[in-house]
Amino acid sequence: MKSTEENKTKQFTFLLYSSIAAFGAYFCMYAFRKPFTVARYDHLQVLGVDYKIALILLQVLGYATSKFIGIKVISELTPNKRKFYFLGLILMAELALFLFAIVPAPYNVVFMFLNGLPLGMIWGIVFSYLEGRKTTEILGIILCTSFIVSSGVVKSVGMWVMQYWGISEFWMPVVTGALFLLPLLIFIFLLEKIPPPTAEDIAEKSERVPMNRAERKKVFRQFALPFSFLILFYTLLTAFRDFRDNFARELWDSIGYTGDVSVYSKSEIVVSLIVLLIFGALYFIKNNIKALYIYHYLLLLGIVTLAASTLLFQYHHIGAFIWMVSTGFGLYICYVPFNALFFDRFIAAFKIKGNAGFLIYLADSFGYLGSMLVLLYKNFSVGGISWLDFFCSGTYILSAIALLAVLYSYFYLNRKFNNPENIHKEKKWKTNLTL
């Protein structure tokens, strides 16, 4: 009895410690990425492109390039190199923000590309500390809530720096980043103290190992069809999640919240708490195949919420704040699984020899490419349409394509799971786990 209580205490302590370390580390990263989006940069252009759109495009281009590089780098990353990669990449991003501040506009736009280039690797580094554990579900969702909450909080910090310190919108990003440097160092130190997965973790979730090029090709070929459909969905999902995030100020201003500093944080904290509770409950589902089915149901829930809330908002049946929270929920209930949980369960369900980082970065690379294409389309093809109308129209297109992609993936995986060979593997795994 005493031993059982001690094990529960140790597990709770590990969970709490790892959650704080991972949440804090990724939260701090956002201070180097998102604060500039709260500035308006009015009346500036770059080669006929709105200056703010150009900044976001170039940062996303850097981020997307980083994701393509990360398919190799993150999948091959060894534990002894993680802290050096993390710190070095953050310092590169902060240097780029400093150069953005001292070089006159519009020539400074190139430094936003150099800011995004290193930051795209951070997610994979942080998640590599957490994957392949019995508690990855909870750790992963806590990590995912960090980018929901942090995006709103660092925008509020950036706005506060401009309003109360009198910092210009060009110096605000580097100043905001500098405020988070010391906390980041502390959280990197804490991450390094997280112990590796136990034998019990490996038995339940399979061992996570670096993957070479041949192994990456083998996994993709084996599941090319569902991956392709899900990546198409994720590409559009990332594009509109990024659009809502990057142009949050324009969207909030257009629905009557001009100058409200706190609204960015309040709305995203509500979303993060709801998402945290839903995905945290999946920790109790030990069967990896059943968990994958549930993820598909949640994806469908997010799609319906996104389309239905927008329709209700346009017909004045719900208020603006409720609508923004609802679209945030719809986007994030779909977006969060692809960043950690879905692929962690996928590897465990099919006993794939590798790591979730490869699949996450495969999806992310195309996701951020899609984000760029949506911004270019908004600027050049429908430049006259308002931010609000563009976002509303986009939610319907996203929902329609997403519905087809998720249903296809569901029925494809259903056939795979009902394959006699896979059923035998799952039974054998359960027997070994019991023993």
Angle between helices 181-192 and 2-30 (to 10 degrees): 150
If we measure between CA atoms, which residue out of 21, 24, 37, 189 comes closest to residue 115? 37
pLDDT band of 373, cuts 50, 70, 90? confident
- Mean pLDDT to the nearest integer, 17-22: 93
- CB environment 81-118: b (16+ within 10 A), e (fewer): ebeebbeebbeebbbbbbbbbeeeebebbbbbbbbbbb
Establish how many alpha carbons lie within 13 A of residue 263's alpha carbon, considering only the half-sphere containing its beta carbon. Answer: 19
At position 42, the amino acid (one-letter code) is D
> Can you spell out the DSSP letters for 390-418?
HHHHHHHHHHHHHHHHHHHHHHHHHHHHT
**What residues are paired with 50 via a beta bridge?**
45
pTM of the model: 0.76
* Domain boundaries, given as residue ranges, for the chain: 13-205, 210-424
pLDDT band of 3, cuts 50, 70, 90? low
Give the torsion sign (CA, 242, 244, 248, 253).
positive
| 110-119, 197-206, 321-330, range with the lowest pLDDT | 197-206
**Cα gap 54→58, rounded to integer Å:** 6
* pLDDT at 114 (0 to 100): 97
Unique residue bearing structure tokens 């394509």: 401
Do the domains 210-424 and 13-205 match in fold? yes
**Cα gap 230→232, rounded to integer Å:** 5
pLDDT digits (tens, 9 = 90+) for 255-281: 888 877 677 777 878 887 888 788 878
- Mean pLDDT to the nearest integer, 99-121: 94
Q: SS3 of 46, please?
A: strand
- Mean pLDDT to the nearest integer, 74-92: 93
pLDDT digits (tens, 9 = 90+) for 196-240: 888 888 887 878 888 888 888 888 888 888 888 888 888 888 888
* CATH code for the domain defined by 210-424: 1.20.1250.20
Topology given in CATH for the domain delimited by 13-205? Growth Hormone; Chain: A; (1.20.1250)
pLDDT digits (tens, 9 = 90+) for 406-418: 999 888 888 877 7
**Cα gap 255→179, rounded to integer Å:** 31
Q: Please state the three-class secondary structure of 187-249 as a single string.
A: HHHHHHCCCCCCHHHHHHHCCECCCCHHHHHHHHHHCHHHHHHHHHHHHHHHHHHHHHHHCHH
Whether residue 143 contacts residue 124, with contact meaning beta carbons closer than 8 Å, is answered with no
Number of Cβ within a 10 Å radius of residue 316 = 7
Do you find a cis peptide bond into 197, omega within 30 degrees of 0? no
In this predicted structure, the answer to whether residue 429 has a pLDDT above a threshold of 60 is: no
